[in-house]
Structure formats: structure tokens, C-alpha cells
Amino acid sequence: MFKKVVATVKENSKIAAGIYKMIIACGDADIRHFVPGQFADIAVPGHAELLLRRPISISAVNPDNNTAALIYQIQGKGTDIFSRLTPQTKIDAIMPVGRGFYLTAREKTVFLVGGGVGIAPLLSVTQKWPSKTYEAFLGYKGRDYAYCLDDFENACGKVIVTSDDGTLGEKGFVTDALGRRLIEAKPDIVLACGPVPMLRALKDILSPFGVPAQVSMEQRMCCGFGACATCVCGVDHGEGLEYKKVCIEGPVFDLFEVVL
Ligand code: FES
């Protein structure tokens, strides 16, 4: 269950072009039961005029000292302010929010597919379920935007990297690289996070292979904890369209049920 807490910045540094990693001490939030895909909703400190909290991905947690690693991209004024926060700064956070990915004993081989800043939450999957066999498919804009590559190389048996401009790995879409790999090997499940066009392409590519998939939606949010309904998306479990709040009923949904 999420909690509103006063967290403390421990470290905050740039890890790629426009992308930062912030380690926070989570205060009274108990992150022992953190589920990959859950996120932190952070208020912009010292700027009461910026009313909206920013949903930030959690890429790893350390239950021993109750810290979490957050990865975010500068996308506007709020995240730009985050990038300048120094150690010991207190921040108002609601965390961990949402329903994350779930794996059972049945899924032994897992393909992780991420694009851009959507790569960040997939790292925590490998931490939560270390006994699975992973392959990662990571799509970056280019070499300068790549982050956490070493972490994925350590956690996954195979890592395939693509970039939009060809400066790192294969040039092109990460979903095309996945499509080529699926001809050789089929996982028990795919877990993905990235922009909607990437998720649409993923759905098209996976459909003929019959591989199940869960996706974490990067939806615009206002309150971030279920109070405003600005984040709704359509989901169809086979009994007609329902509307779900991505912040608390997601962000993770079945790829073949969520409306993209
Ligand atoms: Fe307000 Fe989801 S962002 S309900």
C-alpha cells in the first residue's frame, strides 16, 4: 500500500543525456513489498505553484537501508528542478504507487522490452525475480542516451540494443530486433515499458507468436494516486470496455487487453 512520506535525497546525478538517477531514503514507506512497475509520485520541492506531482520510475530498491533508485528524464520544469536537488534535500513522495508486473513459477524465460526512459522499471524485475532467465531488448535514441546497460548485461543472459540514430547497437526499432529474435527463441512472457507506438508495434509483433505480455503504461497523470481520473485508459478483459485509472489500477496491464 502506498504512503505519503518525507523522503531524503541521498544522491542525484546525470547518467545519460537528459536522464538522471536519484537515490532516496524512503522515510516511513516500507519498500520491502515493492513490486516492479510501481512508481513514486514526487512533489516539486520549493515550488508550490507546480501543483502536480511527477510520477517517477523506481529502478531498484534496497530493503536493507530502505532506499530506492529513481530514474527520470528531464521533460519540463518539474523534472528540471529535480535534476538540481542536492543530497539531504527533503522531498514529499507518495510511494510505492500502482500495480506492478507479476510473474509466477510458470514463467521461466522472460524477455524485457524497453524504450527510452521506459527501460528503467524493467531493471527492478531482474532484482525481484533473480532466478528467471532474462533477455533484454533496449531501445535508446542514441549512444548519449544509453543508461543502465551494464546492469542489464549483468542481470540478463542476452542484451540486444537498438538506437534510433545507429550510434549504439543496431539502427532501428527495438521491436524489430525482438521480432527477429522470436523466430529463434520464444519466451514464456514479455514485460515491456515504453511509448505507446512501441507498445502498439509490440502487440503486432507478438500476436502471431502467441506470447503473453504485460506492459507498463507511460500515461500523463495529475494527482497520481486515484483522486482525479485524468489518467484513465480503456481495458477489455473480453466482457466489454472498462476504464481504469492507470495510476492505481495500473500502470501495468495485459498488452492484449489494454487499449493503445
Ligand atoms: Fe489522478 Fe490517476 S492521476 S486518478
Q: How far is the CA of 246 from the centre of ligand 1 (A)?
A: 7
pLDDT digits (tens, 9 = 90+) for 75-111: 999 999 999 999 999 999 999 999 999 999 999 999 9
pLDDT digits (tens, 9 = 90+) for 143-198: 999 999 999 999 999 999 999 999 999 999 999 999 999 999 999 999 999 999 99
Ligand 1 mutation pick, 231, 243, 244, max ligand atoms within 8 A of CB: 231
pLDDT digits (tens, 9 = 90+) for 22-66: 999 999 998 999 999 999 999 998 888 888 889 999 999 999 999
Burial class of residue 120 (count of CB atoms within 10 Å of its CB; 0-12, 13-18, 19+): buried
Q: Where do the domains of the chain lie, and which CATH numbers do they carry?
A: 3-97 (2.40.30.10), 109-217 (3.40.50.80), 219-260 (2.10.240)
Residue 260's SS3 state is: coil
**H or E segment at 24?**
strand 19-25
Q: How far is the CA of 240 from the centre of ligand 1 (A)?
A: 22
- Report whether pLDDT(1) > 80: no
Is the distance from the beta carbon of residue 15 to the nearest atom of ligand 1 less than 6 Å? no
Is the distance from the beta carbon of residue 142 to the nearest atom of ligand 1 less than 6 Å? no
Prediction pTM value: 0.95
Give the length of the chain. 260
Q: How far is the CA of 248 from the centre of ligand 1 (A)?
A: 8
Q: C-alpha cell of 173?
A: 526499432
Q: C-alpha cell of 67?
A: 532506499
